[in-house]
Structure 1
Amino acid sequence: MHHELIHKLKSKNAVIGILGLGYVGQPLMLRYTDIGFKVVGFDIDAEKVNELNSGHSQIEHIADSKILSAVEKGFEATADFSRIGECDALILCVPTPLSKHREPDMSYVIGTTDMLKPYLREGQVVSLESTTYPGTTEEVLLPRMEEGGLKVGESLFLVYSPEREDPGNPNFETRTIPKVVGGHTEACREVGIALYEPAIDEIVPVSSTKAAELTKLLENIHRAVNIGLVNEMKVVADRMGIDIFEVIDAAKTKPFGFTAYYPGPGLGGHCIPIDPFYLTWKAREYGLHTRFIELSGEVNRAMPEYVLNKLMDGLNDHGKSLRGSKILVLGIAYKKNVDDMRESPSVEIMELIQAKGAEVAYSDPHVPKFPKMREHSFNLSSIELTPENIASYDAVVLATDHDKFDFDAIYEHAQLIIDSRGKYRHVNGKVVKA
């Protein structure tokens, strides 16, 4: 059975189904469509489905022309999960957030699996790409997939292949980012390799789905821990009157043994603030405590409060209190030059400012209107950065350093700047480094 599916995938006669048409699913869909596969996209958001079918992506860095081209090549988006049976490969790209108790929220993975399982048939491969804890593929997907009598590894195939996306990074695209692939059985792994080999330049097979799941967590934990370290160093350097950015720039001239990480107002994005705690949660099942992960999380989660305190100190030095002040937050996407708001520390900073009795507004050229979010709500639109608007605020907080910002104009007209990104590191006076 698996040899037939491998042949179908290698000859590009397979139909690819992508479940979840967001920041991960859309680039994957475009890649498979570009190389000649028929692709069906599934999403429970009817508005998104309609927009994609009309050639609009809703994601800033994905041009409408690319979506329109994909539609012209045969791509269809649908909310009708009964069409699962049309697909030979099913790739799950759904969210895996944390609950309010900072435990894995598997509801999207479970819900999607439950929606597809009535339509599973012989000769299909299911690949989970959502970042999760080691064991998810075997413990959550496997039993559900076998409920109908199909046997994984014989008539149905199960793979874990973690997504690796960096929105807004022009140096990498779906094709050029190596793909880790782990299968539940050897036959599953062979099918998984055949699924991704036509679309990705380099495939990295690993021995199991658990190994692939832990690979993804290690990548993100490595980044979270090092950002936590440099954020702690920022606080220490500030207390000592040392410019942390100068120190990092000097340290990175060492040609071995050092990788530069930069401090900021906290962690954002769909991976780094969340994924490490999937391992922390799972490790407790084995009686283990992941102290590095928990400590770095503690440091990184404290950064929005650190920025708030710097704002209050700066206002105090100007004879003002935060209560009753007007504060403009510059940049609410989680990183520069994207419209991605997931887990953005800017939003927490806005909430902290508002809770202290200040009037808060924002400016972000990539986010014209504050979007609907699961846990945050502001009825705000982006403020245009005219000289008059900038000068009308008691302070501006630079949270995300988009290239589209005119930093000279901001400096000229702002009354006070709270700089969490080091853009004004060589400037004194009305700049407070945060």
Structure 2
Amino acid sequence: MMNLLKPLALALAFATPLHAEIDIQPVTSPQGFSAWLSEESSIPFVAIEIIFPGGANLDPEGAEGAVSLMSGLLSEGAGDLDAQEYAAALESLAGSVAFSAGRDSVSLSIQALSENRDQVIELARLALMEPRFDDAALNRARAQQLSSLERAARDPNSIASRTFNELAYVGHPYARPTGGTPESVAALDRDAILSAHQTALTRDRVLIGAAGDISAEELGAILDRLLADLPEASVPLPDYAGFTAPPGITVVPHDGPQSVIAFGHAGLPRDDPDFMPAFVLNEIFGGGRFGTRLMTELRETRGLTYGVGTSLASASHGDSFQGRLSTANNRVAEVVEILRNEWEWLAGGGISEDDLERIKTYLTGAYPLRFDGNGSIASILASMQFQGFDIDYVNIRNDLVNAITLADLERTAARLIKPEALHFVIVGQPEGLD
């Protein structure tokens, strides 16, 4: 019977029907924790997403990777339960308690059947408040992280990302690897993990989304139970990172028949008035799928790459407009020239009214598909807060897209797109570069 419960929980997670409008209510717990809730009682399932801003940015210098390693250990035993007992307890309840860490945040995702909700919440509370950080689990997780870093050191895409960040954010935590370095991770002991736990999971830096079979009153009580005993923040978040990579090309030699090219320049923050036009502009230009300008020019027309994409990499403490592709070593110089020309095309108002109308149809049609279950909705509600959006954003987002005009795109392109500022990081054995 136990093995049948997990598939049932997953089925319920995705059984919530799509809504034309999501009813979101703000919730404040008795102890002052704020959350956004989409209540849906027709299916006996609840999902809660909790984001703790900070993440790997809070790693002390020389202890890079501590928050990432700590987050991976939180569900590796808690309270009186060792790692195997903790996993078995969750499985018996068809519940899920999952932690993840990035450079800007640590996230906790909780999913449970209504009948088992309180027991799953208690397991989540144990992981937050009473993680064991046993030596065996720490040694295993540290070895896994070191193995991952070893693979990344040989992977051209990872090398390109690391090099681009080092150039783009000199002197800022964004220039450091989220997962740490082999040297820093090898030196992480239990004291470093305990320190990361106290630093990264704090009661005054928390954003919460919830969806499913739960009332505002029930959610408030759960949040107090989960979070009230966490410490206050003791380490400040980093300052804003100005983009520091100069125009030009950086080559990182790497054996292989192809080169990875990471490219970009400064971007726009999410609270910029032109952020939505910039988002739409990027979806037309290099949104990472067939039909974009770059995919058409570089793959379909010239066969220079299997895929190319650009993105507004607008993060909590720094922003860039960047892209990535791979190409044969003997075509790198050609690709770099085409990318510069395409940047000129975009900056000069190359997007047409037809381009804009096509992307509006795509973006407004695809958006509701994101809300495919309580887990997705809870995650989106927490992410909206993390990104600084208003509570009604999900219900007006398509209106915002439809309101964008060609003049908006041209104004935004003139501000954002700087062909002369492009920096290219090329990992491989490129030929023909000046």
Report the TM-score, using the length of structure 2 for normalisation: 0.28
Which structure is richer in relative contact order (CA contacts within 8 A, separation 6 or more)?
Answer: 2
More helix by share: 2
TM-score, with length taken from structure 1? 0.28
